[in-house]
Amino acid sequence: MARMEHDEWWKRRMWTDPEGVERRVSLRLQSDGTWHDGPHCREFEELDPSTRDYNHDVIAKVYPALAAMFGYGIRRVQPTTGS
């Protein structure tokens, strides 16, 4: 389900270029990047593309990063039992 949501979001995501024209977002992975490209290029290269790890990466990396962008944090808590 997370993969389908991501694909749908990616298909609709648009940005406006400096001339004011709406364009689709594209991602280019540079496999021989250097530290000048910033840490994010290396993170894309290290991602495991398998379906099994996709949801784990979304939960462990993407959600916390999105929350941090808005000044929030995600805290994991143990479920409590009713007493």
The 10s digit of each residue's pLDDT in 40-77 is: 555 555 665 665 577 777 888 888 888 888 888 777 76
- How many domains does the chain divide into? 1
The predicted model scores a pTM of 0.32
The answer as to whether 63 is a domain residue is: yes
Domain that holds residue 58: 51-75
3-state class of 15 per DSSP? strand
CA atoms within 13 A on the CB side of 76: 4
The answer as to whether 56 is a domain residue is: yes
Q: How many Cβ atoms from other residues are within 10 Å of residue 67's Cβ? A: 13
d(CA 21, CA 17): 5
The answer as to whether 9 is a domain residue is: no
The answer as to whether 67 is a domain residue is: yes
Amino acid at residue number 30: Q
